[in-house]
Amino acid sequence: MPHHQRADARRNYARILAVAEREVAAHGADASLERIARVAGVGSATVRRHFPGRAALLEAVFHERIEALCARAAASVDAVDARAALLDWLDGFTEYAASARGMAEALAQDRLVEPERVSACSVQLEQAVEPLLRRAAESGAVARDVTAADLLTLVTGIALATERHADPAAEGRRLLELTVRGISPVR
């Protein structure tokens, strides 16, 4: 079969991606591309060839995780309690972002750099929450003027602001809860 990716290219791609995951987990979104290349045992040019630009690498790194989140959203779209489903998903996202260093940064980046690409992580996520949000809104459990983009921006912001706290997951959950119920006291 002609015009297909060569076998070694595929292998290097996998190698690099594997190293990149560890490296990003360790050093955040601004991990050294050169270092990744060294550890993976390839030239730095090869990294740039497979992933043009840091954004592309980050996207690949978080791709499956993002998909997992999307799948989760799809799974709970038929839940009985629409509001609970939405909140649960947001909670999952927050917890996730807290454990996956650099993801929030990466999201914040690509969402404004190329807001049109369908494969962009932020777009996928948006499309994933949208049904959840709509159902919740229809059942009257969530305000009408809230958009999926709003929600993503909010949780991304929370993730960014808590990323280097002592206990990001706990802080994130706490802030998300505040955001959901509002700062005002329970009526």
Residues that bind a second copy (CB under 8 A): 83, 108, 112, 140-144, 146, 150-151, 153-154, 156-162, 164-166, 171, 174-175, 178-187
* CA 186 distance to own-chain centroid: 31
Q: Which of 35/83 has CB closer to DNA? A: 35
Site size toward DNA (CB under 7 A) is 27
Q: Please, are residues 110 and 120 in contact by the beta-carbon 8 Å criterion? A: yes
Among a second copy, DNA, none, what does residue 80 contact (CB within 5–8 Å per kind)?
none
What is the closest distance, in whole angstroms, from the C-beta atom of residue 182 to a second copy in the complex? 3
Residue carrying the six token digits 């499956």 = 64
Q: Which of 50/135 has CB closer to DNA? A: 50
Residues 18-77 that bind DNA (CB under 7 A): 30, 32-35, 41-46, 48-50, 53-54
Among a second copy, DNA, none, what does residue 43 contact (CB within 5–8 Å per kind)?
DNA
End-to-end, the C-alpha distance of the chain in Å comes to 67
Give the whole-angstrom CA distance, residue 116 versus residue 131.
19
Under the criterion CB under 7 A, does residue 185 sit at the interface with DNA? no
What distances in angstroms separate CA 186 from CA 58, 150, 151, one per listed residue? 40, 23, 21
What is the closest distance, in whole angstroms, from the C-beta atom of residue 65 to a second copy in the complex? 19
Name, in order, each residue with C-beta under 8 angstroms of 48's C-beta and a sequence gap of 6 or more.
33
